[in-house]
Amino acid sequence: MCDPQSRFVARARRRFAMTRECAALLPGVCAALADPRQPGLDDTCLEKLLDWFRSLTWFDPTVELVQDNPCLPELITSVLALPDPSPGILSFTLQLAGILASSESRFQHLQEEKLLGRLFGQEGPRGGAAWEEASVRSAWLKGVHSMLHHQPALPFLCSTGAMDVIFTLQGDPSLFVASAASQLLVHMLTFSLESETSKALSAKDCDWPVCAQMIVKHIQESLQSSSASHIEQSLKLLSSLFGSCFGSCYAAWTEVLWLDIAKQIESFLLEETVQAQPVLANLLLNVARSPVFCGTEGSFWALVTSALEHLTPVQAGPLAVGLLKLCKCPQDVRIQALTVLLQPMDCILRAASQPLECAGLLDESVSDPVAVESLLSSKTSCAGLLCQTLAHLEKLLSLKHLKVDLPCVSLLRSLMTILQFCNGFLSPTSPLGSTISRNLINCFRVQKSALDVLAALSEKKDCDTLIGSLFDVLLAYLQSPNSSPTVLKKTFQATSKWLVHLQELSSSNSQQQQTEKILEGVFLVLQKRLCSPCWEVRDSSLEFLTAMVKCLRDQKEFRQCLLSSEVLRLTENLLEDPESYVRASAVIAVGHLTLITCFAPESPATGSQYNKESIVAKLQEILSTDSEGFPRRAVISIFTKWLREGCTGRLEDTEQFVSRAIQTVEHDLDWEVRLGGLELVEVFCSQTICQLAQCPYAPVSSAVTSSTPQKELLQVFCRAKLFGFLFGSLCDCDKPVGQRACDVLVGLRGHFYPMSTLENPQEVEDSPAGRGIAWLQRTLRQGSLAQNFPTDGGDGVDFQDPESMMLALGAIDLLELHDELNKSSDHVEESPQSLLQDILATVGTIEDNEVDCY
């Protein structure tokens, strides 16, 4: 048996192979492409054709591809012979040539035909008018990049002046071209090192391979040039280089290169002669990630430290957070990086405190705190700095192994202060504080970022002392009419996280009282928000309610507050909301609330409006009548949840419940509802098997139809009308439904028949016992995709007859069907043959077809 990876490769190789049919179509396609009279093809087709060639050459590096298909080099020759080829076809040809030249044998072949020089050398398009087109320049770079997978390509490029072209394209007006040039240089340098045998190195005397030498020289010259754009390009290139496998795999070369440029980088940083600080920060971070420098003391880290001091807080932020994420980094640098990140939060705390209080977050700062203060004092930069800092802190809080301690309590205080500034609840007396509070009032951006961090902080310990005041802030936000729907959503998310934390704390009496008080406040405001005229708010409120029920349903205080509030009634009302999203969220919320109100062992009497029967009836009504898919999908998912949690009562009740649900969803227009129905059936089957079979997981030794539990099982499934739904779904016009139905049937068959019979299904003759099964077998064998099964009534198959169904399960080759369904229609759509046929057919058809929307 092959391993899965080999199987995958073999399948892919078969899928992309040059079949006889493709080889027959290819010359026609090439001729059409080279014909200047033909209107331009859809770019997507050309891209897909290149994708195919890429896969083809990847699996087959031999020269046969070009030898057996001479139309390919002929296409290149024909395009080169055109006096004025269209940019589209020229770009295609450049990329195709690069892809074909990606193996050494084909490269040599194309060289012998003298094609590569005419495309990528001086006589190629790079001197002509077509070069004005960004798409041609980009294709030229992509072609070179594809070609660079073997040693002979390097001297070819170096000798044809390609290097200078690539250097120039780094500054191209098209961002895509400039970026491709930079990526190509990184690839070239790394590849040139890869292909040379390693040489002894010292910092002063090193022998770069020729191509690498050219690149390094170019970098050095650019860094010393007076042109700011050249310097910036080189810094970006260096940054990509250190961030690539060069930095991680070529330690010695990395060190040599760094030592070469370190002085220059330091001067840029300290003298600020070039305005490229963000690039410099990125460069330092990528160098820091290289194993050469990680964790060691030395001049590099001194430079990093100096960068943290010299860069502005906005520029230093990304560097600081990157350093804190490193596994190996000197601890003092880490602490300094954290200080940089915490400075704005410290400043906020100090600005909000009374003059005599010592309320800061940091003992000392890294750089001049005046810089942070001045940024926070300005209306335009205040929000930007805080949003950036908060985003970084959120990232840090999500890290599992942060190697410095975050001062969580002070951070929480600072966050609360920011949120209070934003909603105008805090007006500090200090001049800086009042300026910041003026800058932040009603600033949604900062509110959202602060609430995100607040939610992330709930995972941390030690913040318990502030929990009361924290909920004051959160409730103020939930109550405030000024809170925008997005801010409210984030407040709900933060509140639900902190409520979970609160639950973990409430062990003592006083804490229980506090919890009750907080929950009362939460439910009061939730009642109000469930009635909001804005659907976004109603929806977020329902999502919040569901999240609370999921986490807190076992907590006594929570249940008490919930049942004594109006929330249950309001949620039920929202089942009839005009907005379908809200109806769907209400279904989910009601479904979860029912777990407390109806299905819990100690379910309280909650009044007549919230009893089990009425809720089930309401949801069933939504499932059959709601005009939109979301609420119907929500109902079927809730039904499945109830079934999983064992809430549907005795087997007979459950049987009826499932039967009713699947009869409703069977004809639903939304395939995801039908899919949900199949999931319900799957859960029902496995639960029933567990209940009725003695040993559910033991394989059966032979066809055991006579044994009582098996018979009973079949009867239950037939009574619940599962089989009609399952076999009908095999022919569903939406593929995932058929696939899922087949999975369930394969599972059932595995239960009723020994595994060995799966691969050898029985041939069935029509008999009174299994009337129509032969027809069913034939229909499904012809391909489930004949898709006329459901409409003709099943040709007399009795889907409720246990014996017939037992026979059907044994007779139908479900594994083959499974394979057929899993192929999906991609088999047609993405096959190279289909693509070639489409291109040939498209050539010469009306152009207008291409230019409609959608």
For the segment 625-654, give every residue that binds another protein (CB under 8 A).
627-630, 633
CB of 353 to another protein, least distance (A): 27
- 1 DSSP 8-state letter: -
- Would you count residue 655 as binding another protein (CB under 8 A)? no
Is the four-CA dihedral 357, 362, 364, 370 of positive or negative sign?
A: negative
Cα separations in angstroms, 45 against 25, 90, 704, 717, 791 = 15, 15, 55, 49, 38
Judged by CB under 8 A, how many residues of this single chain contact another protein? Answer: 86
- Contact criterion met (CB below 8 Å) for 229 and 173: no
Place of tokens 């992330």: 456
Q: Is 177 in the site for another protein (CB under 8 A)?
A: yes
The yes or no reply on residue 20 touching another protein (CB under 8 A) is: no
The least CB distance from residue 461 to another protein, in Å, is 28
Q: Which of 14, 35, 47, 291 binds another protein (CB under 8 A)?
A: 47
| Residue 846 touching another protein (CB under 8 A) | yes
| Residue pair 629/672 in contact by the 8 Å Cβ criterion | yes
According to DSSP, residue 366 is labeled: S
- Are 75 and 30 a contacting pair, CB within 8 Å? yes
Binding pattern to another protein, positions 127-156, x when CB under 8 A? ------xxx--x------------------
DSSP state of 480: -
Q: In the block, which residue shows the tokens 């951006």?
A: 445
Q: Cβ(89)–Cβ(134) under 8 Å?
A: no
- Only one of the segments 204-212, 401-409, 442-450, 466-474 lies at the binding site for another protein (rule: CB under 8 A); that segment is 442-450
CB of 176 to another protein, least distance (A): 4
- Residue closer to another protein by CB (options 282, 571) is 282
Per CB under 8 A, which of residues 178..197 are in contact with another protein?
179
Chain centroid, CA 712 distance in Å? 45
Q: Show contacts with another protein in window 360-379 (CB under 8 A).
A: 379
Closer of 64 and 816 to another protein (Cβ): 816
655 alpha carbon, distance to own chain's centre: 39
Which range binds another protein by CB under 8 A, 219-227, 300-308, 380-388, 712-720? 380-388
Find, among 661, 673, 632, 798, the residue nearest to 727 by Cα.
798
Q: Residue 46 or residue 518: which is nearer to another protein going by CB?
A: 46
278 lies in the site for another protein, by CB under 8 A = yes
Residue 58 in the binding site for another protein (CB under 8 A): no
Kindly state the smallest distance separating residue 587's Cβ from another protein, in Å. Answer: 14
Q: Which amino acid is at 458?
A: S
Complex with another protein: residue 571 or 637, whichever CB lies closer: 637
Residue from 158, 201, 359, 387 that binds another protein (CB under 8 A)?
A: 387
C-alpha–C-alpha distance, residues 705 and 719, integer Å: 17
Yes or no: say if 32 and 42 are a contact pair by the CB < 8 Å rule.
no
Taking CB under 8 A as the criterion, the residue among 58, 59, 425, 671 binding another protein is: 671
Helix orientation angle between 71-81 and 104-112, rounded to the nearest 10 degrees: 50
Question: Residue 387 phi/psi, 5° resolution?
Answer: -60, -45
- Per CB under 8 A, contacts with another protein among 156-175 are 173-175
Q: How far apart are CA 173 and CA 177, in angstroms?
A: 8
Residue 563 as a binder of another protein (CB under 8 A): the answer is no
Looking at residues 291 to 320 of the shown chain, list those that interact with another protein (rule: CB under 8 A).
318
> Residue 64 CB: number of other CB atoms within 10 A?
12
Which tokens go with 432? 């800086």
Binding residues for another protein restricted to 772-811, rule: CB under 8 A: 782-783, 785, 787-788, 790-792
For position 841 contacting another protein by CB under 8 A, the verdict is yes
Nearer to another protein, 109 or 490 (CB): 490
Among residue numbers 579 through 608, which ones bind another protein (CB under 8 A)? 580-581
Choices 7-15, 612-620, 622-630, 797-805 (CB under 8 A): range interacting with another protein: 622-630
Given its phi and psi angles, is residue 813 left (phi above 0), alpha (psi -120 to 50 degrees) or beta?
beta
Interaction between residue 32 and another protein (CB under 8 A): no
C-alpha to C-alpha distance for 813 and 818, rounded to whole angstroms = 9
Q: Is 679 in the site for another protein (CB under 8 A)?
A: no
Give the residue with the Cβ less far from another protein, 425 or 671: 671
Q: Is 42 in the site for another protein (CB under 8 A)?
A: yes
Closer to another protein by Cβ: residue 46 or 718: 46
d(CA 30, CA 92): 11
